[in-house]
Structure 1
Amino acid sequence: MPLNDCRIIDLPRIQDPRGNLTFLEAGRHVPFDIKRVFYLYDVPGGAERAGHGHKKLCQLFVAMSGSFDMILDDGYKTKTFHLNRSYYGLYVCPMIWGDLNNFSSGSVCMVLASDYYDESDYYRDHNEFLQAVKANS
């Protein structure tokens, strides 16, 4: 199942009394070539983000500040990840429906993506996503 391929990636940390540093390298820490970076911020309390799936896109989600929950759905089961450390990245493979919620005040969610924005790669209707999952099984 694709949901089993989604996982937390422990990113390198260099701890220093002056402040810590974390870095990411495509091919070493990120399991894909990075073609796009975007981030979510100023999310109002109670708001939800994402609410879609991707046909081919791979992503890595990082809570740069604050925390949020990511609920992943592969069409058969769901799993919730609580992201609250800037040195953890959640790898999300294709054919996973994702919902983001429970944003803390001041949270920032950075997303690394394996490809450029392409609207045709999105499933925006959950029932359409479920039909595609069943058809690909």
Structure 2
Amino acid sequence: MLDNCKIIDIPKIADPRGNLGVIEKELLPYKIKRVYYLYDVPSDAYRGGHAHKEQLEFLIALSGSFEVVIDNGTNKETITLNKPDKGLLLDTGIWRELQNFSSGAICLVVSSGEYLEEDYIRNYNDFKSFVGA
């Protein structure tokens, strides 16, 4: 997988009544500052289309599935998220695009920072300059 991006298993407590996924401070390499989620995304739409200068993010498919295309300016890789007990940790300086959302898909994002527009790189050419590609 590209750079320091990786799939992390989310601990779960299995129970006949249903499973419980747990995200606590030891799971992620940062303090959680913001949590948000994407839902009702049309299957032909895409989200993302940006990179972060300093913010780390952890993406989880709580329901359904979607693809995350990650790009370090030189190489691209597509990861399918479709299990609520696995998440994708995205490092800084990684361009990401989310696509191919299944019906009812929900993407939970656990972020290391509060929303700060200055942290976003929204132009791909600016991103390539940022990473020196």
Q: Same fold (TM over 0.5)?
A: yes
Cα offset, 1:3, TM superposition: 2.5
Q: Write out aligned runs for 1:53-132 (5 A).
A: 53-132=51-130
- Residue 46 in 1 paired to residue 44 in 2? yes
- C-alpha deviations, 1:49-78, integer Å up to 9, x for none? 000001000000000000000000001101
Supply the distance in 1 between the matched residues of 2:43 and 2:66 (Cα, whole angstroms): 11
4+ runs deviating over 4 angstroms: none
More helix by share: 1
Q: Normalising to structure 2: TM-score of the pair?
A: 0.96
Aligned residues: 133
Q: Which residue of 2 aligns with 1:4?
A: 3
After TM superposition, the structure 1 stretch with the greater mean CA deviation from structure 2, 104-113 or 10-19, is 10-19
Supply the distance in 2 between the matched residues of 1:44 and 1:102 (Cα, whole angstroms): 8
Cα offset, 1:41, TM superposition: 0.2
Supply the distance in 2 between the matched residues of 1:133 and 1:105 (Cα, whole angstroms): 35
Counterpart AA for 1:53: A
The two structures, once aligned, show a CA RMSD in angstroms of 1.2
| Runs of at least 5 residues in structure 1 that lack an aligned partner in the other structure | none
Answer whether contact 2:43 2:99 (CA < 8 A) is retained.
no
Supply the distance in 2 between the matched residues of 1:116 and 1:109 (Cα, whole angstroms): 18
| Runs of at least 5 residues in structure 2 that lack an aligned partner in the other structure | none
